[in-house]
Amino acid sequence: MQFVGAVPALTVTRYASAAEKLLHGGSGTAPVKNVRKTGVGVECATASTRLRISFVNDHIVRVTATPNQEWSERASLMRADFGGRPSVIKIGGDDKVCSLRSPRMLVKLDLGSGALSFWRADGTLLLQENTASPRAFERVEVVKSMPAPSTVTRIKTVDGERQVAGAYVQTKDRDAWKAAARFSLHGDEALYGLGFDETDDLNLRGRRKRLYQHNLRIVVPFMTSTRGYGLLFDSYSALTFADGADGMSLTSDVVDDLDYYVIVGEKADDAIAGYRELTGPARLPPKWAFGYMQSKERYVSQQDLVETAARFRRRKIPLDTIVQDWNYWMPNHWGSFVPEAARYPDIAAMTKAALDLNAHVMISVWPNPSPLDPPGRALKDNGYTLAGTDYVDFFQRKAGDLYFDHAWQYLGRHGIDAWWCDSTEPEVADWVQDAKRPDNADELNIRGLAKIIDPQYLNAYALVDSQSFYRNWRKAAPAKRLVNLTRSAYAGSQAAGAVVWTGDIAARWPVLAQQVVALQSYSASGNPYVTCDIGAFFVRRGQQWFWNGDYDAGVGDLGYRELYTRWLQFGVFLPMFRSHGTDTPREPWHFGEPGTPFYDAIIESIQLRYRLLPFMYSLAGLVYLQGASFIRPVAFGFPDDPRTYDLKTQMLIGDGVMVSPVLEPMYYAAKSVPLQGQRTREVYLPKGIWFDFWTGTSQAGGRTVVVDAPLSRIPVHVRAGSIIPIGPVQEYVSQVTSVQIELRVYPGASGQFTFYEDAGDGWGYERGEYALTRMRWDDAGRKLTIFERQGNFPGMKEKCQFSVVVVGPGCGHGAAFARAKQRMVTYDGHAVTVALAQQQQHHGRPGGKEDPGAER
């Protein structure tokens, strides 16, 4: 192999007829020639394309290919400037292969086919492009659509009032490419990511998907494998994923260059950490945002909102955020920032009254403010809206700045602490008033988006929206972290502080089961902050295809009360714990009174969330610092166990907590019909020792067990070697208590945990203002070592009390503090080792009933 000094200019063929629209590279391989070193990789050419291989750092490589004569100079919307550089890249090879090696990975370029393969430094093949056809390009025309002025009207939809155009004038804007990257996967690997949709697809193997933003979908063009690598595509158009007998491919409808990254690691979590290196860290919300959020559609006045918060306090039900949904504006002024004075006479007084109750206010804002009020009118008059709509064109920086200025003037400066940026996909064409969803919904929705957004960027609207809001919030409120709950996102949204929810889902048991999958899939796509409407948005059955809940009587139906209770129990373990929906009230007192089963189970679940705050907030610190995840598919922890690859009904929280939601009714069907039968569910326990969180009993894994699942609790198991910090029940996160933190040690294996603390708000954590306390359990020596505290932050307590307990049937289980066999430790930041007595452990039936037919 010989290297040359430059890559020659290429001739690009324009296809004029449908018969000539053949995919470049789609009919076979193309030999590589003219290989040139670049310092971080190589550039080369085939007969029809340029190819560039560039190491971003030692474990991430970028692959770019184009039939164009020049590389695109368009800026990436998702990439973060993290300053990474590779070590010296060793380039060599022979007449058949060009090899590029860093200390952590190896890339091989087949000079005969142009196909790439990606290896760990130890010689493990992770991923390879399809050697018969690695990449493909098809010339496409990008069409610009302008609304015909006479056809522009305003319509009312279930998803809000919108301005729409009945017809568009379309003209050619430029040429671009439809581009595909094709890969050959290993038969025994599982693949995760790409955001989520309405399906329950967890493992993507064997699936085909059209990927675009929608009320019930979020696209993130990132995948990770049980083999430990990740794939990120820097593309913003509609996409098509396909995996089948001829391999896996991802196709972008409109690009200048095919542009993707391969991240090499030992496990899927490493790939996600690499994704965050490329696209930015997940910003840390304020600590109070991890408390309980009460929302519904909707509170109708500021008095209604404040009185609801006060009722929580009178009942001593924990609460940190109360949410104001839409229609706080004047009638027919859809999306306005201007509250209706008769119902919201003083926003500042409203937020102060809530804050006096130690509650924060979240408010819904829409990206299509009514032009009947000054904010919307100013955006329209300045040309800052998308063609034929009232939706703000956040691709224009000045448009986003003006939008935020108005949001701040009318709402933010009056004490709004959290933002709910709703409807951040500006066109959902199938969200129509029909009982049946259109058969061609995918293409209908994509065409609708492409009329108002450049087709090359139609998946990026929510990303630039969040980036704009984040940028402006940090200027306007420099001492406060951002809380931005939004309905859509993309690769990089986590770096703009976005928390997403899964859209307007319906109250049905199969939907709850699907949500367990959707949340795992989104988290596996690299973005950690995700939640859903606890209890579902639509509860009753309406005339539209999407308004299809099973409970016309709402909370009056005992079947809905059971579904809501199980949904809330699941929600306890999500990064954001928020109840929301329409059709029926959502506050706990509508589900019964103290002493009744549904009410008590709901209150105990909310209290459990506050008990788990030290654990959840420590995870949040590691999410920021190390690229960790709250929610992990079970396969992430057990990549060598194929039984976990498509385990849809269970998920890991952090490293060692496994949650198994109840996903079918056990007490009541719809219309309050009583049910009889077992109140149990099957749980698959991977190899190892697992503890029942509620009983403290343990058993060996590698099998399916049947566990009790009464209405009062959700099945939760904790892996041996885990250390879980448990705090007191609080009415709100900042409540000062004198109760110590209980450290629950789960024996049977050695393990460690990192306890994270910071000021709870402000951006000091980005400057290193936080404290890490590493803890290690030595199972053989029965010793817990709490190492020297690393770091500090303003207001940090120099001393704290830890109550250390080894979990077993007699102590350290359930929601209550251990009352026996505990060791009190006063920790002042210096290392301390606690010796703990041996306890008899049971690793058989006591933690649950074995399934006689289960695999062992």
Confidence at 23, pLDDT banded by 50, 70, 90: very low
Lowest mean pLDDT among 251-255, 633-637, 795-799: 795-799
Choose among 30, 20, 21, 224: nearest CA to 134: 30
pLDDT at residue 480 tops 80? yes
Confidence at 852, pLDDT banded by 50, 70, 90: very low
pLDDT value at residue 851: 35
Q: Which residues pair with 143 in a beta bridge?
A: 172
* Gyration radius (Cα) of the chain, Å: 27
DSSP-derived pairing of the beta strands 168-184 and 247-255: antiparallel
pLDDT value at residue 736: 83
Lowest mean pLDDT among 39-53, 349-363, 469-483, 836-850: 836-850
pLDDT value at residue 710: 98
pLDDT value at residue 47: 86
pLDDT in tens, 750-769: 999 999 999 999 999 999 99
Helices marked H in 183-288 — which ranges?
268-279
Choose among 106, 265, 248, 246: nearest CA to 181: 248
Stretch 829-848: mean pLDDT, rounded?
68
| DSSP label at residue 816 | S
Tokens of 432: 């129509």
The model scores a pTM over 0.85: yes
Confidence at 838, pLDDT banded by 50, 70, 90: low
Q: Quote the mean pLDDT of the chain.
A: 93
pLDDT in tens, 720-733: 999 999 999 999 99
**Helix 597-611, helix 558-571: angle, nearest 10:** 10
pLDDT value at residue 12: 27
pLDDT value at residue 839: 56
- CA dihedral angle for residue 114, residue 118, residue 122, residue 125, rounded to 10 degrees: -90
pLDDT at residue 157 tops 80? no
Helices marked H in 555-633 — which ranges?
558-571, 597-611, 613-626
pLDDT value at residue 487: 97
Amino acid identity, position 224: T
Tokens of 112: 């005969």
Helices marked H in 169-290 — which ranges?
268-279
Nearest-angstrom CA–CA distance, 87 and 108: 18
Confidence at 846, pLDDT banded by 50, 70, 90: very low
Choose among 27, 8, 114, 122: nearest CA to 69: 8
Confidence at 845, pLDDT banded by 50, 70, 90: very low
pLDDT in tens, 602-660: 999 999 999 999 999 999 999 999 999 999 999 999 999 999 999 999 999 999 999 99
pLDDT in tens, 392-412: 999 999 999 999 999 999 999
Stretch 297-305: mean pLDDT, rounded?
98
Nearest-angstrom CA–CA distance, 224 and 268: 6
pLDDT in tens, 439-448: 999 999 999 9
